[in-house]
């Protein structure tokens, strides 16, 4: 395929510009449907006049539906988009980025989506769509799936689709009371289960605990039973955070924030803080999955993107289990520059 694409680029260079533009339009409509023309033009940074022409062409081809509430893809549009994805990855160089990143991070599978989630919020939804596809390809009946919190995982939950054939149980990977409710693992777990037509169990405990409170809570029969269920999960989907950002967001004490800064921590996941070499420099006392628990999991999917997250992804991957990574172009290029 690569040789054919190279020949076509030489003979009909404008073809790829047009294909890329129309692919981006289909991609954004698919993620945000139904969406109005003005909002779409603003998001793609093209004029309404140019977009009107492209939308008319795509509608004539039977790829778009246009209704008062906005535009959406037809069944044929979704089919075409699905089959065009791999071709566009070759054209845009994303396939080469994936292969380079697999070698750089020594991972078995890496997915790179176009764009930079630091600059465009829709890129998180695109990462979410691929994460859901990977998860669903590996689902087994009566699977227990643990999920963490955060804005990226909230986007994953939003992109979840029904899976009525299987009995699925979603659980939060850790406690999360005290964080914004929409970003808590409990909220994301419940939403993901609802969209997948599965079941869920929640864990109503604070995210950070003193030693005394921790020992007291894990002795509670209900908490102990829920923790055992969470630790039985064989599929985990999680985010990777920047250390300082996560410490502030979780309302860590000034003493803890100072320790994180002094130890030059750059990444956080599952309550562990990592420096650039992947060394754990601080651990939050939290009820939920620990790093050692992940070694028993059959599928671990890390979802994190944005140029600003490159250092965090790099640090975590040096210490964390060998996950499947779903990231974006911004983070991938920053990682490879380093």
Non-local CB neighbours of 67 within 8 Å, separated by 6+ positions = 34
C-alpha angle with apex 90: 55 to 50, nearest 5 degrees? 20
The predicted structure's pLDDT at residue 99: 95
CATH label of the domain that carries residue 51: 1.10.10.10
Same domain for 73 and 115, yes or no, is no
Pair type for strands 199-200 and 235-238: unpaired
* End-to-end Cα, the chain, rounded Å: 30
Mark whether 23 and 62 lie in a shared domain.
yes
* Residue 238 bridge partners (DSSP): 302
pLDDT at 266: 95
- Of residues 185, 177, 174, 195, the one with CA closest to residue 152: 185
Q: Give the residue from 91, 116, 143 where a domain finishes.
A: 91
Residues 146 and 36 occupy one common structural domain? no
Quick one: pLDDT at residue 4? 59
Residue 147, helix vs strand vs coil: strand
Distance from C-alpha of 75 to C-alpha of 161, rounded to nearest angstrom: 16
Rounded Cα gap, residues 233 and 241, in angstroms? 22
Residue 256 burial class via C-beta count within 10 angstroms: exposed 0-12, middle 13-18, buried 19 and up: middle
User: For 161, which DSSP code?
Assistant: -
pLDDT of residue 338: 66
Alpha-carbon span 130 to 147, nearest angstrom: 16
Token pair for 160: 């979840």
d(CA 170, CA 145): 5
CA distance 109 to 98: 8
Q: Which phi and psi (to 5°) does residue 284 adopt? A: -80, 135
pLDDT at 218: 78
Q: Are residues 117 and 237 in the same domain?
A: yes
Listed residues 48, 66, 91: the one ending a domain: 91
Same domain, 188 and 264: yes
Domain membership of residue 331 as a residue range: 93-336
The number of folded domains in the chain is 2
The alpha helices in 263-309, defined as continuous H runs, are: 291-294
pLDDT tens for the chain, residues 1 to 338: 556 556 666 656 677 788 888 988 998 899 888 899 888 888 888 888 889 999 999 999 999 999 989 999 999 999 999 888 888 888 788 999 999 999 999 998 999 999 999 998 889 999 999 999 999 999 999 999 999 999 999 999 999 999 988 999 999 998 765 567 788 999 999 999 999 999 999 988 876 777 777 777 877 888 889 999 999 999 999 999 999 988 888 778 888 888 999 999 999 999 899 999 999 999 988 888 999 899 889 999 999 999 999 999 999 999 877 789 999 999 999 999 86
Residues 123, 233 within the same domain: yes
Residue 51 CA to residue 37 CA, distance in Å, equals 8
pLDDT of residue 62: 94
Q: What is the pLDDT of residue 288?
A: 87
| 220 and 103 belong to one structural domain | yes
Residues 170 and 87 in one domain: no
User: Do residues 132 and 52 share a domain?
Assistant: no
Residue 70 sits in the same domain as residue 105: no
82 shares its domain with 100 = no
The residues, ordered by sequence, that sit 6+ positions from 58 with a Cβ below 8 Å of its Cβ are 22, 25, 26, 64, 77
Assess whether 107 and 242 both reside in one domain.
yes
CATH number at residue 285: 3.40.50.1360
The pLDDT, as a whole number, for residue 14 is: 74
In this prediction, residue 322 carries a pLDDT of: 75
Of 40, 75, 91, which closes a domain? 91
């Amino acid at each position: 395929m690569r040789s054919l694409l190279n020949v076509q680029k030489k003979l009909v260079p404008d073809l790829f510009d047009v294909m890329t533009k129309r692919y981006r339009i289909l991609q954004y409509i698919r993620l945000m449907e139904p969406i109005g023309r003005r909002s779409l033009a603003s998001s793609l940074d093209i004029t309404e006049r140019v977009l009107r022409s492209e939308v008319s062409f795509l509608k004539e081809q039977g790829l778009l539906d246009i209704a008062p509430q906005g535009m959406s893809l037809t069944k044929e549009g979704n089919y075409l988009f699905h089959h065009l994805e791999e071709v566009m990855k070759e054209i845009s160089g994303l396939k080469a980025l994936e292969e380079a990143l697999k070698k750089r991070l020594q991972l078995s599978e890496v997915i790179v989506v176009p764009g930079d989630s630091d600059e465009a919020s829709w890129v998180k939804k695109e990462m979410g769509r691929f994460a859901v596809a990977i998860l669903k390809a590996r689902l087994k009946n009566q699977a227990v799936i643990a999920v963490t919190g955060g804005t990226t995982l909230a986007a994953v939950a939003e992109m979840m689709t029904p899976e009525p054939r299987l009995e699925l149980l979603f659980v939060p990977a850790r406690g999360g009371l005290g964080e914004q409710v929409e970003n808590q693992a409990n909220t994301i777990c419940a939403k993901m289960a609802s969209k997948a037509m599965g079941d869920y169990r929640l864990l109503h405990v604070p995210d950070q605990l003193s030693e005394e409170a921790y020992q007291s809570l894990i002795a509670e029969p209900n908490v102990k039973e829920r923790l055992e269920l969470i630790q039985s999960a064989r599929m985990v989907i999680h985010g990777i955070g920047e250390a300082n950002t996560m410490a502030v967001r979780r309302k860590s004490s000034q003493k803890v924030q100072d320790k994180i800064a002094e130890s030059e921590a750059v990444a956080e996941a599952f309550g562990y803080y990592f420096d650039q070499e992947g060394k754990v420099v601080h651990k939050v006392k939290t009820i939920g999955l620990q790093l050692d628990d992940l070694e028993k999991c059959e599928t671990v999917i890390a979802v994190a993107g944005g140029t600003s997250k490159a250092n965090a992804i790099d640090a975590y991957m040096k210490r964390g289990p060998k996950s499947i990574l779903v990231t974006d172009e911004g983070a991938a290029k920053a990682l490879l520059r380093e």
